[in-house]
Amino acid sequence: MGRIYRAPAAIGDPPPFDPKVPYAVHEQQEREWVKRIAEWAKQNGSGPEAGAEIALPYADGHARYIVLSLRPSVKLIHLAVGDAWDYPYIERLTAADIRRQLERRAAFAKLFGGQA
């Protein structure tokens, strides 16, 4: 069983949605917030996977997490962006499940020329 954390207090909450702000601007603010969390996880987590993002399909979107560590137990940071979905079985995922998810993400990015 793993542990799920909120964003670090040093980074704070995700940018609030403001209907007066163009959506593209809001998306950029979210991307920057996620990037700060990933960098924080790389510095404060452990293992080569620290700072990597996983996205698990759920409802009409994805539940998104940043890996903090996979050893000795799974530790993830929930990304409360978009609809802020929680994956209902996240505590059941093992380190091997998450590594497979990261491998799939990398293969998909390679196939379509994007980033993992």
Q: Where are the alpha helices (DSSP H) in 14-56?
A: 23-44
Q: Is it the case that residue 1 has pLDDT exceeding 70?
A: no
**Beta strands 61-69 and 75-78: pairing type?**
antiparallel
Q: Which contacts of 79-83 are long-range, i.e. CB under 8 A and separated by 24 or more positions? A: 79/7, 79/14, 79/34, 79/37, 79/53, 80/6, 80/7, 80/13, 80/14, 81/14, 81/30, 81/33, 81/34, 82/30, 83/59
Q: Structural domain of residue 105, as residue ranges? A: 3-112
pLDDT in tens, 69-94: 999 889 999 999 988 999 999 988 99
pLDDT above 90: residue 50: yes
| Torsion from C-alpha of 43, 62, 6, 23, nearest 10 degrees | 90
Identify the DSSP state of 108: H
pLDDT interval class at 64 (50, 70, 90): very high
pLDDT at res. 91:
86
Domain tally for the chain? Answer: 1
Residue 45 has pLDDT above 70, yes or no: yes
